[in-house]
């Protein structure tokens, strides 16, 4: 009897393992080969070994040769060609990492069902730096993380021995493979609100263990640093960038890091922003602060990535204008290894923002765009919102050729499925793909991600691709349509609070300050009659946005205070249009849930159930957004809420 029970339990456990589809494999789901495929290379590097192993294990086609050829491509590019006579495939690259990227490209073609009998591809990444920014704290909490604790289990890394636990190694191998498969070549592993402890020797040794692992996958490690580290870690009395003792402290610290990690990427810095220390504390400029670090890093080839997300230092000035005010005069004053990293919009990762005009104003300093993969303001890990269309929208205003790099605030955590929502994995994937090639369409990326992650069945792919493609606009509609922004709840930023939260918080964090609803209308006047934020845009956007008749309706309430009865392009009034957008957003969320409910035959049980549960929540949340916002705005418009 007992034995039967145990056998049943064992069988149940085995079945569970066999059918568990927890999403931990991400999009890396190639079928293993029963026979090893013939892969040859003379490149003896570890990176080439990984490329060979990936292909030998997962490639199902004709033999592949990996050839290093100095003249073939740019630093990280690759070429793939099929020999028509025998179908053999050659991947050529200048460097080993190009061979690895080529190998993953080949697997992507195979796994997304593209033809592989006549390949002729030559690729080079669009930008040099394609970096994840993890906002992970040393205690493993993750700022704006919605997928569990940090993936860096510091306790399981032994810096003295240079080892990590097997479980961590396995998990982080998936992290490296996933990143390399989409061309990500850097990882800032800690929060921009950085703990000075990150620079403690104990942690530097642990970071070395990560760097040693990431290197073979073409990924460099970077650290966020706290500008006051010389005081907190070094015991100095000041962190003034012009102080000799401070400068020496940073030089020594940088030397210590490079001794452990010879290819260390550099520092990411949030300074004089949201309470973080910075050069401004000593009446020094951002350039003086950045250049001090740049001098320490330059001999080793390291970068300073200085964030422009700075506000609150110009009392009374419209927050969205402050980055330009702060940085325009410093353009040209930064050392050559300093990069300015700027969020895509001038405010803070809202569901829709116009592009940040700092990209127009900075002419002499290399720029990186900072995108947010973690969906802080777009339903976190509870809503299906595919972000590629939002990023493509940004690239339609800011030419990626103008950028030296693209950073993405990561959405990873220790949840089995890495990102909280199975479909949030698509945003990590899309970030890498777009940073590599911003000309790819959102649709193509969705298509290849779905095929690799779920199934090739068109009865699944077509409807779910359509859902993904519509999801960002739906989110804008049910949260903040027509240019509304910053009307979320305080602290956790989840859910609506349009009436919020002055005087508990400074005015520049208050929803009422941003929507400015009153009896005459709604919206923030940033025209030449208002804050003049429009003037920071290049021509013709300055005048297009300034004129209520030419301002695109999706940005209307961002740039204009508009009367409730203003006639919209479709002939309805602003109030009616607002109601229509909120209703449309809710209807879309319902449609997404409905579509997903029909996908059961094509998806494993676990992922089907987990996504279903989140879809239901998305509908509830969308309704809450609509009802809360419209009821509140109605107290000013005094008009009927239309359904």
- Which is nearest to 365 in space by CA: 313, 435, 309, 307? 307
Distance, in Å, from the CA atom of 224 to the CA atom of 305, rounded to the nearest integer, reads 9
- For ligand GCU, the closer CB: 32 or 504: 504
Q: How far is the CB of 353 from ligand GCU (least distance, A)?
A: 13
Please tell me which residue in 348, 360, 448, 542 is annotated as part of the active site: 348
CB of residue 309 to ligand GCU, shortest distance in Å: 5
Nearest to 601 by CA among 455, 416, 466: 455
SS (H, E, C) 181-223: HCCCCEEECCCCCCCHHHHCHHHHHHHHHHHHHHHCCCCEEEE
Phi, psi of 86 (to 5 degrees): -130, 0
What's the 3-state SS for 477-530? Answer: HHHCHHHCCCCECCCCCCCECCCCCCCCCCHHHCHHHHHCCECCEECCCCCCCC
- Distances 514 to 259, 350, 563 between C-alpha atoms, Å: 49, 12, 16
Identify the active-site residue in 69, 155, 274, 518: 274
Measured from the CB atom, the residue of 308 and 637 that comes closer to ligand GCU is: 308
Least CB distance from residue 380 to ligand GCU, whole Å?
12
Q: For residue 327, give both structure tokens.
A: 């940085």
Q: Between 68 and 270, whose beta carbon lies closer to ligand GCU?
A: 270
348 is catalytic: yes
CA–CA dist 247, 87 (Å, integer): 59
Least distance to ligand GCU, CB of residue 361, Å: 20
The number of helices, as runs of H, and strands, as runs of E, in the chain is 19, 17
- What are the E-state strand segments in 215-337? 220-225, 266-269, 303-307
Q: Give the pair of three-digit tokens for residue 190.
A: 């800690």
| Active-site annotation holds for 376 | yes
Residue number with CB closer to ligand GCU (290 or 296): 290
Check if 274 is active-site.
Answer: yes
Least distance in Å: CB of 245 to ligand GCU?
28
CB 187 within 8 A of CB 134: yes
Which residue lies nearer to ligand GCU by CB, 194 or 297?
194
Cα–Cα distance, 310 to 552 (Å, whole number): 27
Q: Which is nearer to ligand GCU, 317 or 627 (CB)?
A: 317
Write down the least CB distance from residue 103 to ligand GCU, Å.
Answer: 35
Per annotation, catalytic residue among 79, 370, 376, 473: 376
Are 598 and 564 spatial neighbours (Cβ–Cβ below 8 Å)?
no
CB of 282 to ligand GCU, least distance (A): 21
* Residue 129 or 309 with smaller CB distance to ligand GCU: 309
Is residue 438 within 8 A of residue 430, CB to CB? The reply is no
The CA distance from 532 to 538, in Å, is: 13
Binding site for ligand GCU (CB under 6 A): 143-144, 192-193, 270, 274, 309, 348, 376
When the beta carbons of 203 and 309 are compared against ligand GCU, the nearer one is 309
Helices marked H in 333-386 — which ranges? 358-361
Q: Are 297 and 258 in contact (CB under 8 A)?
A: no
Tokens describing residue 451: 């095929």
Beta strand 303-307 with 266-269 is: parallel
DSSP E strands, 94-214: 120-123, 129-133, 157-158, 163-164, 186-188
Residue 348 C-beta: closest distance to ligand GCU, Å: 5
Q: Would you say 195 or 442 has its CB closer to ligand GCU?
A: 195
| Residues belonging to the active site | 274, 348, 376
């Amino acid at each position: 009897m007992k034995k039967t029970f145990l056998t049943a339990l064992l069988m149940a456990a085995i079945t569970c393992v066999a059918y568990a589809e927890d999403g931990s494999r991400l999009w890396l789901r190639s079928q293993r080969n029963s026979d090893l495929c013939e892969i040859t290379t003379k490149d003896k590097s570890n990176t080439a070994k990984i490329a060979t192993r990936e292909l030998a294990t997962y490639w199902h086609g004709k033999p592949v040769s990996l050839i290093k050829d100095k003249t073939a491509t740019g630093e990280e590019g690759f070429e793939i060609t099929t020999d028509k006579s025998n179908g053999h495939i050659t991947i050529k690259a200048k460097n080993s990492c190009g061979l690895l990227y080529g190998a993953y490209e080949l697997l992507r073609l195979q796994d997304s069902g593209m033809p592989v009998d006549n390949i002729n591809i030559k690729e080079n990444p669009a930008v040099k730096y394609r970096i994840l920014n993890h906002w992970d704290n040393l205690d493993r909490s993750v700022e704006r993380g919605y997928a569990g604790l940090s993936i860096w289990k510091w306790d399981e890394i032994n810096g003295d021995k240079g080892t990590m636990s097997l479980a961590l190694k396995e998990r982080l191998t998936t992290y490296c493979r996933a990143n390399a498969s989409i061309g990500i070549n850097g990882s800032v592993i800690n929060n921009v609100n950085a703990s000075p402890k990150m620079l403690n020797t104990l942690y530097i040794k642990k970071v070395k263990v990560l760097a040693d692992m990431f290197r073979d996958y073409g990924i460099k490690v970077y650290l966020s640093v706290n500008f006051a580290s010389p005081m907190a870690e070094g015991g100095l009395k000041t962190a003034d960038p012009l102080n000799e003792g401070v400068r020496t402290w940073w030089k020594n610290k940088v030397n210590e890091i490079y001794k452990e990690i010879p290819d260390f990427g550099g520092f990411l810095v949030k300074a004089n922003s949201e309470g973080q220390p910075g050069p401004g504390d000593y009446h020094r400029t951002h350039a003086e602060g950045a250049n001090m670090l740049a001098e320490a890093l330059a001999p080793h080839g390291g970068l300073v990535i200085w964030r422009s997300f700075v506000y609150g230092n110009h009392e009374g000035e419209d927050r969205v204008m402050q980055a330009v005010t702060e940085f325009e005069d410093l353009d040209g004053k930064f050392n050559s290894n300093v990069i300015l990293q700027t969020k895509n919009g001038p405010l803070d990762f809202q569901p829709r923002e116009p592009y940040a005009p700092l990209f127009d104003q900075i002419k002499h300093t290399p720029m990186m765009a900072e995108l947010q993969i973690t969906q802080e303001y777009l339903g976190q890990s509870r809503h299906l919102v595919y972000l590629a269309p939002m990023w493509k929208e940004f690239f339609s205003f800011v030419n990626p050729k103008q950028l030296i790099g693209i950073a993405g605030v990561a959405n990873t955590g220790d949840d089995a499925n890495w990102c909280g929502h199975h479909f949030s994995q698509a945003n990590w994937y899309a970030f890498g793909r777009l940073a590599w090639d911003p000309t790819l369409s959102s649709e193509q990326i969705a298509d290849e991600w779905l095929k690799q992650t779920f199934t090739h069945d068109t009865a699944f792919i077509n409807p779910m691709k359509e859902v993904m493609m519509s999801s960002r606009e739906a989110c804008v509609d049910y949260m903040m349509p027509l240019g509304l922004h910053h009307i979320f709840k305080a602290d956790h930023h989840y859910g609506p609070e349009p009436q919020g939260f002055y005087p508990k918080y400074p005015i520049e964090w208050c929803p009422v300050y941003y929507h400015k609803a009153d009896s005459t209308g709604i919206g923030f006047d940033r025209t030449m009659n208002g804050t003049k934020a429009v003037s920071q845009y290049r021509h013709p956007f300055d005048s297009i946005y300034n004129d209520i008749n030419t301002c695109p309706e999706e940005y209307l309430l961002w740039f204009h205070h508009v009367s409730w009865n203003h006639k919209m392009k479709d002939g309805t009034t602003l109030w009616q249009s607002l109601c229509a957008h909120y209703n449309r957003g809710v209807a879309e969320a319902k449609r997404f849930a409905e579509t997903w409910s029909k996908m059961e035959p094509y998806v494993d049980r676990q992922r089907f159930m987990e996504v279903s549960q989140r879809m239901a929540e998305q509908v509830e949340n969308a309704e809450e957004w609509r009802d809360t916002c419209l009821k509140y705005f109605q107290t000013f418009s005094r008009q009927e809420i239309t359904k």
